Chains A and B, each alone.
Chain A
Amino acid sequence: MKLRSMLAATTAAGLGLAGAATAQEYRIGITQNNVGVDSYQTTYEKAFIAAAEANDMVETVVLDAGGDVARQIAQMEDLIQQEVDAIIIWPTNGEAVIPAVRKAFQADIPVIVTNSNIAKQGFDFVASFSGPDNITQGARSAEIMCDRFKEMGIEDEAQIVQISGQPGYTTAIERAKGFEDRLPEVCPNVTLMETQPGDWNREKSQQVMEAFLVKYDDIDGVYAGDDNMGVGALNAAKAAGRAGDIVFVGATNFAVGYEAMANGDYWGSIYQSPVDDAEAALQTAIDVLEGKDVPFLNYFDTPKITQENMGDFSKPVF
Chain B
Amino acid sequence: MAPGQLSTFLKRGAIWGFIVLELIFFSIAGEFMSLSEKAFMNWDNMLLLLKQSAPLGIIAMGMTLIMVNGNIDLSVGATFALAAIVLLDSMTWPFMAAMGDWAIPFAWMFALLTGVALGAINGFIVWKTGVDAFIVTLGAMLGFRGLVFMYNGEQPTSHLNWTLVDFAEAQFLGLHTATWFLLLVTAAMWWLMNRTVHGRNAYAIGDNREAAVNAGIRVGPHIMINFMIIGFLAALSAVVFYSESGSVNPNDGTLYELWVITAVVLGGTKLTGGSGSIISTFGGVLAIQILRKGLGHIGADTETVNLVIGLILIAVLFLDRQLNVRGKEALRV
Interface, chain A (partner B; CB < 8 A): 27, 35-36, 59-71, 73-75, 77-78, 81-84, 92-100, 102-103, 119, 121, 164, 166-169, 173, 197
Contacts and interface: CB of A to CB of B under 8 A. Distances in A.
A262 B36 CA distance: 48
A248 B201 CA distance: 62
Interface string B298-314: 01011100000000000
B248 A103 contact: no
A11 to B, nearest CB: 12
Interface stretch (B129-137, B152-160, B206-214): B152-160
A10 B155 CA distance: 58
A197 B36 CA distance: 40
Given A69-B249, A99-B165, A99-B169, A74 B38 contact: no
Contact of B35 (A36, A77, A84, A92): A84
Secondary structure type dominating chain A contacts: mixed
A66 B302 contact: yes
Contact of B155 (A63, A97, A168): A168
A96 B37 contact: no
18 contacts: A27-B35, A35-B302, A59-B35, A66-B302, A68-B252, A69-B252, A77-B51, A81-B48, A95-B160, A96-B156, A96-B248, A99-B160, A99-B169, A100-B245, A121-B160, A167-B249, A168-B247, A168-B251
Interface stretch (B62-70, B265-273, B289-297): B289-297
Interface residues of B, number: 40
A197 B156 CA distance: 13
Interface of B: 34-38, 42, 44-45, 48, 51-52, 55, 149, 153-156, 158, 160, 165, 168-169, 241, 244-252, 292-293, 296-297, 299, 301-303
Contacts of A78: 45, 48, 293, 296-297
Contact of A103 (B45, B169, B250, B301): B169
A95 B156 contact: yes
Given A63-B296, A69-B245, A167-B250, 17 more contacts: A35-B303, A64-B303, A66-B302, A68-B252, A69-B247, A70-B55, A77-B52, A81-B38, A92-B249, A93-B252, A97-B245, A99-B160, A99-B169, A119-B247, A168-B247, A168-B250, A173-B155
A73 B52 CA distance: 9
B245 A73 contact: yes
Interface centre among B37, B246, B292, B299 (most CB of A within 10 A): B246
B36 to A, nearest CB: 4
A59 B250 CA distance: 35
Contact of B241 (A36, A66, A70): A70
Contact of A83 (B38, B248, B251): B38
Nearest to A71: B292
Nearest to B37: A83
A167 B34 CA distance: 35
A27 B37 CA distance: 11
Contacts of A102: 165
Contacts of B297: 78, 82
A81 B42 contact: yes
Contacts of B51: 77
